[in-house]
Amino acid sequence: MKIYTNTHKQLLIKLLYTLLLSISFSPVSAQLISSDQAPPSVKWEQINEPSFNLIYPTELRDLAEQTAIVLKTNIRSISHTLGIKPRKINIILQNRTLEANGYVQLAPRKSEFYTTPPQGGDPVDWITTLAVHEYRHVVQFDKLTGSIKFPFEELGLAFFGVALPSWFYEGDAVLTETRFTKGGRGVIPSWEMNFRANLLEDKNYSYQKDYLGSYKDITPGYYQLGYFMTTKLHRDYGDSITNRLLSRIAKNPIRPYNFSRSLKKITGYNTKQWHQQTVDELRDLWQAQSSSLSIKEYTKQAVPSSKFPTSYYYPQASDNGVIYAIKESPLRVNSIIQLKDGKETVEVVKTGRQNSPYFSYAAEQFVWNEIREDPRFKLRSYSVIHYYDLSTKRRWKITKKSRLFSPSLSKDATKIAAIEIDLKNENYLVVIDTETGNEINRIPSPGDRNLSHPSFQPDGSHILVVGRNSEGSSIIEFSLANKSSRILLDHQIQEIADPSYTGDGILFKAHYNGIDNLYLLNPETGEIRQLTSVRYGAFNPSYQAEDNKIFFSNYTGRNYEIQSLYLDTLHSRDIRDIENSFISYFKPLSDTINLPRAHSLDSTRKFQHKAYKEIAHLFNFHSISINDGEYDNLTEYKPGLFFLSNNIMNTLAVKVGGTFDPDIHALNFQTEFAYNRYYPKFSAAYHNREQLANVRHPQSKEIYPARWREHYSQFQVQFPFSINRLNYNYNINLGIASSYTHRYGINRPDFQNVLIKHIEFPLHYQVSLGRNARRAQLDLAPRWGQNISLNYRHLPFSHLTGTRLALQSTFYFPGLATNHSTQLRFNMQERSGVFAYENIIPMVSGFDQLTPTQPSNTLFLNYKLPIAYPDFDIGPLAYVKSFKANLFADFEDIGVGNQPKPRTYGVQLLADVNFFRFVLPEFELGLKGIAVNENNPKKFILQYSLSYSY
């Protein structure tokens, strides 16, 4: 969502309402709370307990029992350091989406758990980590905003977002999940690796850069930074520190820089100083850890140099010495690339959207999985398998509407092994015929483990898989002949990944010495030997039998490089002789815990299950707001009071209230309904509003101001449709709307017969089509894109006449250099009757200061390019990430009259900025110089702009 304006008088309002609490376990940055819906076919049940109401799809009854057990066991543990008993909350389990995620929110108060586990992560079952983390957010909310209740939930949400930095509440939740489970991200070296590498490489970034991120450098981000800063607070000041901080903030909610000043009052350090204290301690601890390691060097694969961090994942070698890997860079979207003779020779194929980079190679064939969203219901998605034949350059989709992860090819590329997670959250190892896509074999997970990373034995008879449950990680071997399984390695509090056969051993990634390294398991004796000893982390191992060689990705402090070693020349060590050097930053706190945990509860307890009927909960009024909840355009903000209702399934939204229009000094009233349960979206609205306009008198021909009131009713139906396919996103939106207007109370008696009293049911149709390439991180726009929107309005049921037709289009093309963008926008309109004088297409830059026109078309040419990525602070006020430029030329009435020339042209300078140390929203400041190419007193116009996105 973006907004352009020449004023920022209501910026604080937007800050208050967009800083929402969320958590994402995927590699992408945190997202705002979802307003999407599950498909209407889902049948819901509930477990209604005194502390929570757990709502879940009927397929998840067993998982709901497990979740309820985790919550019942951990509520006291999670909340005891904040000294409160949280209020009851609705918790919804969502099983149709394949994103591993969750969030807590107010307005309305609820939490959602996305139950499909990720393919990697901490060594504990997913639902335990998720429940503990999210419920800690519930406790945080209630501690800080517990006194702000109905009907002021929106105010509480705003206060929470403004009062607490994201690093604090997310870091506190990560600390909680680590202390109160056997896993948690605080026990994973790979999770902290970027932060550790930065400090050991003497990259002394500022507090704001570590917190808010960078386009050009790797930074820890607010989850990792927050975990260490929050944990240090607990280590140095005890478990009461969070309670003390939040209590002080709540007592004076309007104090500027409330958190930093409260931290200073209690500890003597503000946030910036506390960041430095944390960094100094961590540097000492990590330097001591690093000095205890015996670091070895390995053969590096030469790759092109880059100004930006570049990563090569899952390197796999062919028989003829060619290496294939996934390349990740902020400059380009991910693709499988080929390296030969020390050179990156060719891009094989672009991969589409993935939860994390992954592919498998064998016999000149490639497979990988991509995430596909439902065209309408975004809380339903699929993971489908794609196949690419290098010899024929053919690419196709093997499965449709599947839930298959981590596909792995057999050595002869005739079979694919993948992990299926069904709607019951049950895991299966599935084997598929490559040629037909038919299922050959299906084996359930032993012990209800979460499965990941399958790998074939060379002869195709067995498959290795990683399993995870509440006791830790395991390596499992499945026999395809009799559909049996055996545990080769069990109950490891390790992030185990990517096991594969090496002839007489099992190669895998783990972190027994405190750093992610490669290990070899003897499946007969159970002996484990460490193969690599790297500084920061070794990942994604693959074994080439022909040369007895291992390829892997080695993180060097900036890039993931492709490195290799020969298995027969190793000087490996038995892990029994290896000391774990992991600093276990949370450990002193966990040793003080004397409270029950999830795995200690009697798991035989049964809960009462009842049907959940959404129709009985359609209305859920939660907040009185100073606006109708929409802040798309701050310059058009009008003060008012609204009563807002949103049900917890996001299917019905209601607004009832009124505003004061300061421009015409009038009170307006409105009621709106939006019903989004089914495929078409329905909305209805009623407005009683005052209007002020200049009206020409039919006799004197003079223009006079006239004021009147009107009843305005509108009904709209929308058919949204959006999909992602390969490297493109597509959208089709159809809409039809009608309205009825009755005008009354005009203030000039002589205009009684001039003003049109009734406008009966005009019909408005809209069709939008879009096809846009996926954007790399540093792309300023899609490299290729085609977008067309057609609008038509007429009056078939009215005594009035008139039509209005408008076409708007945007086309994107590559620029002259990487991440540059060329944009062409063409718009046209035809109007007649009562619509004859309406301008409904975008106008040229600076039009409000030019001679008024009624153009039939406009054409805009833009060329956007990045300038620099400075990453500098302006004290606590702002953090500047990038500078950009936009060269433009704007035309009117192409093909009408004289030879076309731009009416205005010029340059716009832009900067990406975070204000007041808020992660969201991200702002774009612009200064636009407009040259006027016509006879006009103003030959040059200077404008500034402010836009935001989240």
Q: Where are the beta strands (DSSP E) in 502-559?
A: 506-510, 517-521, 528-530, 537-544, 549-555
Between 17 and 444, the more confident residue is 444
Q: Please give the Cα distance from 636 to 618 (Å, whole number).
A: 30
Mean pLDDT to the nearest integer, 185-214 = 96
* Each residue's pLDDT tens digit, 130-187: 999 999 999 999 999 988 888 888 888 888 989 999 999 999 999 999 999 888 999 9
In this structure, of 33-37, 423-427, 886-890, the range with the lowest mean pLDDT score is 33-37
pLDDT at 342: 67
Mean pLDDT to the nearest integer, 919-944 = 89
Q: Which is it for the CA torsion 535, 541, 776, 95, positive or negative?
A: negative
pLDDT at 14: 38
Mean pLDDT to the nearest integer, 349-358 = 94
**Does residue 543 carry a pLDDT above 60?**
yes
**Does residue 40 carry a pLDDT above 70?**
yes
Q: Please give the Cα distance from 749 to 922 (Å, whole number).
A: 51
* Each residue's pLDDT tens digit, 479-537: 999 999 999 999 999 999 999 999 889 999 999 999 999 999 999 999 999 999 999 99
pLDDT at 899: 67
Q: Please give the Cα distance from 186 to 647 (Å, whole number).
A: 35
Q: Which residues pair with 389 in a beta bridge?
A: 365, 394
Mean pLDDT to the nearest integer, 772-777 = 96
**Does residue 6 carry a pLDDT above 70?**
no
**Does residue 408 carry a pLDDT above 50?**
yes
Residues sharing a CB contact under 8 Å with residue 414, sequence separation 6 or more, in sequence order: 433, 434, 435, 460
Contacts by residues 399-403 (CB-CB < 8 Å, ≥ 24 positions apart): 399/432, 399/437, 401/372, 403/98, 403/116
pLDDT at 820: 97
Report the 3 state secondary structure along 561-618.
EEEEEEHHHCCCEEHHHCCCCCCCCCHHHHCCCCCCCHHHCCCCCCCCCEECCHHHHC
**CB of 69 closer than 8 Å to CB of 77:** no
**CB of 148 closer than 8 Å to CB of 160:** no
Q: What's the chain's average pLDDT?
A: 90
Q: Please give the Cα distance from 629 to 621 (Å, whole number).
A: 13
* Each residue's pLDDT tens digit, 872-888: 999 999 999 999 999 99
| Phi-psi category of residue 884: left, alpha or beta, with phi > 0 → left and psi -120 to 50 → alpha | beta
Residue type (1 letter), 167: W
Please name which of 924, 916, 947 lies closest in space to residue 161, comparing C-alpha atoms: 916
**Does residue 752 carry a pLDDT above 90?**
no
**CB of 186 closer than 8 Å to CB of 227:** yes
Backbone angles phi, psi at 833, to 5 degrees: 60, -135
Q: Which two tokens stand for residue 193?
A: 């690796």
Mean pLDDT to the nearest integer, 703-721 = 92
Percent helix, strand and coil across the chain, each to the nearest 5: 20, 40, 40
Q: Please give the Cα distance from 668 to 658 (Å, whole number).
A: 5
pLDDT at 715: 97
**Does residue 29 carry a pLDDT above 50?**
no
pLDDT at 287: 97
**CB of 342 closer than 8 Å to CB of 301:** yes
**CB of 135 closer than 8 Å to CB of 177:** no
**Does residue 383 carry a pLDDT above 60?**
yes
DSSP codes of every residue in 432-456: EETTT--EEEEEEPGGG-EEEEEEE
Residue type (1 letter), 366: F
pTM of the model: 0.92
Q: Which is it for the CA torsion 895, 896, 898, 903, positive or negative?
A: negative
Q: Please give the Cα distance from 400 to 384 (Å, whole number).
A: 6
pLDDT at 373: 94
* CA dist 592 → 243, 531, 876, 950 (Å): 17, 36, 36, 40
Mean pLDDT to the nearest integer, 21-45 = 63
Q: What is the helix (H) or strand (E) element at residue 61, kind and residue range? A: helix 61-79
Coil, strand or helix at 165: coil
Residue type (1 letter), 610: K
Q: Please give the Cα distance from 506 to 504 (Å, whole number).
A: 7
* Each residue's pLDDT tens digit, 619-634: 999 999 887 656 555 5
pLDDT at 599: 46
First to last CA, the chain: 7
Between 939 and 465, the more confident residue is 465
* Each residue's pLDDT tens digit, 431-464: 999 999 999 999 999 988 999 999 999 999 999 9
**CB of 696 closer than 8 Å to CB of 703:** yes
pLDDT band of residue 693 (cuts 50, 70, 90) is confident
The H-assigned helical ranges of 105-215 are 126-145, 153-163, 166-179, 189-200, 207-212
pLDDT at 364: 95
Q: Please give the Cα distance from 412 to 399 (Å, whole number).
A: 20
**Does residue 32 carry a pLDDT above 60?**
no
* CA dist 430 → 330, 433, 478 (Å): 34, 10, 11
Q: What is the helix (H) or strand (E) element at residue 180, kind and residue range? A: none
pLDDT at 305: 87
**Does residue 754 carry a pLDDT above 80?**
no
Residue type (1 letter), 55: I
**Does residue 22 carry a pLDDT above 70?**
no
pLDDT band of residue 24 (cuts 50, 70, 90) is very low
pLDDT at 935: 79
What is the Cβ-side half-sphere exposure of residue 605, based on CA atoms within 13 angstroms? Answer: 18
Mean pLDDT to the nearest integer, 735-760 = 87
**CB of 99 closer than 8 Å to CB of 26:** yes
Q: Cβ atoms within 10 A of the Cβ of 940, count?
A: 12
Instruction: Give me the count of residues in the chain.
Output: 950
In this structure, of 697-701, 706-710, 768-772, the range with the lowest mean pLDDT score is 697-701
Q: Please give the Cα distance from 287 to 317 (Å, whole number).
A: 35
The H-assigned helical ranges of 375-414 are none
Strands 52-57 and 89-94: parallel
**Does residue 602 carry a pLDDT above 60?**
no
Residues sharing a CB contact under 8 Å with residue 850, sequence separation 6 or more, in sequence order: 844, 903, 904, 932, 934, 936, 938
* Each residue's pLDDT tens digit, 781-838: 999 999 999 999 999 998 889 999 999 999 999 999 999 999 999 999 999 988 887 8
**CB of 266 closer than 8 Å to CB of 237:** yes
Q: Which residues pair with 335 in a beta bridge?
A: 327, 350
Mean pLDDT to the nearest integer, 331-335 = 95
pLDDT at 95: 97
What is the rounded (10 degree) CA torsion for 421, 424, 430, 434?
Answer: -70
Q: Please give the Cα distance from 528 to 513 (Å, whole number).
A: 12
* CA dist 440 → 22, 415, 421, 881 (Å): 40, 9, 17, 51
Please name which of 944, 945, 923 lies closest in space to residue 878, comparing C-alpha atoms: 923
